Amino acid sequence: MLYGTTTPQAKRRALRERLASGELLRFPGAFNPLSARLIERKGFDGVYISGAVLAADLGLPDIGLTTLTEVAGRGEQIARMTELPAIIDADTGFGEPMNVARTIQTLENAGIAGAHIEDQINPKRCGHLDGKSVVDEDTALKRIRAAVEARRDPDFLIMARTDIRATEPGPGGLRLAVDRARALVDAGADAIFPEAMRTLEEFAAMREAVDVPLLANMTEFGKSELFSTEQLADIGMNIVIWPVSMLRIAMGATDRALDELHAEGHLAGKLDEMQHRAELYDLVDYESYNRFDSGVFNFEVRR
């Protein structure tokens, strides 16, 4: 009832242990708190909290307009709905290294298990669009060092994301990405998110280059091909995210349902596609609230 019962520390510990096993952990993106619980019910390993989704939810493009307060607040709402660890997108860390330090502590307080900090310049762009720029290596490393020094729970996962691959379209971009990933690991990053890798071979080259866990971003309509969990596991990737997919699916279904409602004047033809009232009640654990109420109020007052 209410929210999850696993403490943030236990979730972080569990994430560390699962990562140490070398298996591929699957983190679909939750577009709201309730969808996080559905992700857990379906047997996934964790919940991803996407910056692009948070921005879209507010009707904003993903260009660094959301604030730390908004991101941590929504992150907390999502993370507390599930027993699974949640990894959140902390964009560029919301400012200078000192801001990055505050960001990490705020996300720890929000019950998050780990975050990624990227090396784009401010204002950032979606990692799969053209026209991105990255900061120099020194600035990128300072962000990560600040994050590592700020955390109070040593199990909080600090992941460095590099967007440098797409700044040079040819093979030179991959070399830049490998060099930067190595430097980020030396600066203390627990894991690497190599953004906008184009092929499985590029992911494999990154796997060769560093020893820490690696994340693959399977976002649709972007620069990477969409690889299966089997393909990614085979080359030794450790986490896969589908950051915006569930929002895209929900919005696509809503779009089509609105057309039908407009045309037909009713939604009777859409019932099969809807989450049933009973399923919703089950997911929010309605029954436990009823039991709680009966336990509290079913007593006799002795006079």
Ligand X SMILES: C[C@](O)(C(=O)O)[C@H](CC(=O)O)C(=O)O
Yes or no: say if 75 and 47 are a contact pair by the CB < 8 Å rule: no
Active site residues: 48, 62, 89, 91, 116, 118, 126, 161, 195, 217
Yes or no: say if 147 and 104 are a contact pair by the CB < 8 Å rule: yes
Question: What's the start-to-end Cα distance of the chain, in Å?
Answer: 33
Stretch that binds Mg ion, among 1-9, 86-94, 142-150, 261-269 (CB under 5 A): 86-94
Token pair 């200078």 in the structure block, residue: 96
Asked if 119 touches ligand X (CB under 6 A), the answer is no
CB of 113 to Mg ion, least distance (A): 17
64 binds, among ligand X, Mg ion, none (CB under 5 to 8 A by kind): none
Contact set for Mg ion, span 22-51 (CB under 5 A): 51
CB atoms inside a 10 Å sphere around CB 109? 12
CB of 186 to Mg ion, least distance (A): 24
The residue among 13 and 198 lying less far from ligand X, judged by its C-beta, is 198
Bridge partners for 162 per DSSP? 194
The secondary element (H helix, E strand) that includes residue 276 is none
Q: Tell which one of 40, 89, 155, 190 touches ligand X (CB under 6 A).
A: 89
Kindly tell me the burial class for residue 303, based on how many C-beta atoms sit within 10 Å of its own C-beta (0-12, 13-18, 19 or more).
exposed
Stretch that binds ligand X, among 12-20, 217-225, 229-237, 281-289 (CB under 6 A): 217-225
Stretch that binds ligand X, among 33-41, 151-159, 171-179, 214-222 (CB under 6 A): 214-222
Yes or no: say if 119 and 164 are a contact pair by the CB < 8 Å rule: yes
In the complex, the residues that contact ligand X under the rule CB under 6 A are 50-52, 62, 89, 126-128, 217, 219, 222, 243-244
